Chain A
Amino acid sequence: MKFDFTEEQKSMMEVGRDFAEKDILPTQEEDEKAHHFRKETFKKMAELGFFGCVIPEKYGGNETGHLCAALLTEEIARVSASWTLPFNMQMWGPAFTILNYGNEEQKEKYIPALVNGDVIGAFAITEPNSGSDVAGMGTTATETDDGYILNGQKMWISNAQTADMSLVYAYTDKAKKHKGISCFLVDMKNNPGIKTAAIETKLGLFCAPTGEIAFEDAKIPKSALLGQKGDGFKICMWQLNNTRLGCAARGVGIARGCHEHAIKYALERTQFGQPIAEFEMIQDQLALMYVEYEAARLLVLKAAYEKDQGNIGNTLSVSTAKYFAGEAAVNASGLAMKVFGSYGYSSEYPVERFFRDAKSLQTVEGTSNIQKVIIARAILSK
């Protein structure tokens, strides 16, 4: 067992760190206030190859692997959680899923464009009445002579209003229960049956768009079907087991950002004639943040490493990492706010943003409860 990073991995972390500090941080607060998704930042990330880590060179990727992608995600989340969403919306979600389940035509049409940022991606599972219970979805895809007709509503979809393409999960056969769900590659623009609206009532992740999608007799071609009819549920679970790694790495980055800010502040802020870092209760908080960050990071690295070794379906490791890192991020941001006192409660300092962003991790891509359900199921059936 080796705990060293390769020279290349170190270089990539450096690129991630520099990019976050020089290209994201300077406009972060402005964009946060304006709820602005800065297209240039997105394009630049794509150009550097950030969305090609797990994609073969043949489709425009760089084959640097899941571990590298997780490390980059951490570096970016340390500065801005919002800006790690594109890793999931481009790469771990649509591109990697199409790579595994798509036919050659679908791969060529979508993967290079998702990697180079020409196409903005999304994946649409959740609905107003169906979240954790994926099979409870109501969206349908009715087969016709020349394609399918989509009807239904998707909710809380990252990039809904900005996406050019989306994986859309819908029932082709309701009677078959979860075995009647199929997955479609849907071109989101120029379809009169597709309407989107932004959700502006979020608590955080303001630089990452979220919205809803309404399908009203939206016609899509036969070629939009990914895999076989009825594969949708299986594809969805497979996809989530990859995108969750991205969420977990985001949690690690948030936890790190929080503890770094807290350490710096604790050494600078003086009360009762000494830096607050001298108080044992503050030290306890800092130590706790560090321990959880470090543990979460090791879980993420392990899950990413397993995928790079070919074990893509490593649900137990991924859900463990996603659960722990999500909770660690929330704990770290809460503790950092305490260390910062009133300034922790102020949008003038970043920990307040970390706190709002971190909370999403207990919900997105399977709530913390759902991760525990998956973990328990896996360990009980061992």
Chain B
Amino acid sequence: MNIVVCVKRVPDTETKIKIGGEGTKIDPAGVEFIISPFDEFAVEEAIRIKEKLGKGEITILSLGPADAQTIMRKAYAMGADKGTHLNDATECQDTLAEAQALAAALKGMQFDLLLFGKQAVDYDNGAVGVQVARLLNIPVVSRIIKLDVADGKATVERESDMGKEVVEVKLPAAFTAEKGLNEPRYPKLMDIMKAKKKPLEEKPAQLEAPKLTIVKMDYPPARPPGKIVGQGEESVPALVNLLKNEAKAL
């Protein structure tokens, strides 16, 4: 079983994001970068499948600037075998252009499973996984919470407000990982040391001119302070009135 996992470098979810680049980009100064948490679920799932089957190879594919290699090595330390870095110094924000570049690289690879996180937690578009699958003309199931592989097929589960769906798909196929799929492991110290020795190929990303550009980024508006309407039962009508007419929540 050959598994390719696409991972993206994103700002640590605990960093306070600052806007830079003439108001259209996240300012990378002082920011720690991590594997997008949903991509980490995908990496963990790939390792679990490999461990269960006792064979296979896990390839990491990452499109991003030079330091995307740092997070690729984290995936290596967890248990991935090798990888390709599609270098993009421009930090492209057009998901279709990114998907095309990833699909172009994937065309040269043999795989049964192609895994993504359901979205990268930087711009939260949630588009790339599905777009890549479409470009490669393979089936895709998004936001999966369970994945079982047997006899050239995958049985997956996904959850929605309506309930649970169980889907069977012929391989090769693509999946995007939702929280709940698994609990990612900590890399062992020894594996962190060995990660540097695993093969990492670097290629320029073949990006078309973006059809989408971010024109402006803004901070969310400061939350207005809370208001104490009154105390006890007698203040309820006033509260209902404010919820209806001021907050328009009712």
Q: Mark A41-56, 1 if CB is under 8 A from B, else 0.
A: 0000001111011000
Contacting residues, chain A, for B188 (C-beta < 8 A): 47-49, 62
CB nearest to A69 among chain B residues: B189
Q: Decide if B190 touches A8 in the complex (CB within 8 Å).
A: no
Q: Once A and B bind, how many residue pairs between them come within 8 Å at the CB atom? A: 41
CB nearest to A52 among chain B residues: B189
Q: Decide if B70 touches A15 in the complex (CB within 8 Å).
A: no
Question: Looking at chain B's contact residues, is the secondary structure mostly helix, strand, loop, or mixed?
Answer: helix
Q: Please, how many angstroms separate the alpha-carbon atoms of A12 and B195 in the complex?
A: 12
Q: A8-B196, A11-B77 are in contact. Are A49 and B190 (CB under 8 A)?
A: yes
Q: Decide if B186 touches A8 in the complex (CB within 8 Å).
A: no
Contacting residues, chain B, for A52 (C-beta < 8 A): 189-190
Could you tell me how many residues of chain B have their Cβ less than 8 Å away from some Cβ of chain A?
13
Report the minimal beta-carbon distance from B187 to chain A, rounded to whole angstroms.
Answer: 6
Report the minimal beta-carbon distance from A84 to chain B, rounded to whole angstroms.
Answer: 16
Residue from the set B77, B188, B189, B192 with the largest chain A CB neighbour count within 10 Å? B189
Q: Mark B185-203, 1 if CB is under 8 A from A, else 0.
A: 0111110110110000000
CB nearest to A19 among chain B residues: B186
Contacting residues, chain A, for B74 (C-beta < 8 A): 11
CB nearest to B189 among chain A residues: A49
Q: Is B143 an interface residue (CB 8 A)?
A: no
Question: Looking at chain A's contact residues, is the secondary structure mostly helix, strand, loop, or mixed?
Answer: helix
Q: Decide if A15 touches B190 in the complex (CB within 8 Å).
A: no
Q: Decide if A15 touches B73 in the complex (CB within 8 Å).
A: no
Contacting residues, chain B, for A15 (C-beta < 8 A): 186-187, 189, 192
Q: Decide if A63 touches B193 in the complex (CB within 8 Å).
A: yes
Report the minimal beta-carbon distance from A29 to chain B, rounded to whole angstroms.
Answer: 22
CB nearest to A11 among chain B residues: B192
Q: Decide if A12 touches B192 in the complex (CB within 8 Å).
A: yes
List 4 additional A-B contacts (Cβ < 8 Å) besides A8-B195, A57-B190, A62-B193. Answer: A18-B186, A48-B186, A62-B190, A64-B192
19 residue pairs from A and B, CB less than 8 Å apart: A7-B196, A8-B192, A8-B196, A11-B73, A11-B74, A12-B192, A15-B186, A15-B189, A47-B188, A48-B186, A48-B189, A49-B189, A52-B189, A52-B190, A62-B188, A62-B189, A62-B190, A62-B193, A64-B189
Listed from nearest, the 8 A-B pairs whose CB atoms lie closest are A49-B189, A62-B190, A62-B189, A11-B192, A15-B186, A49-B188, A48-B188, A64-B189
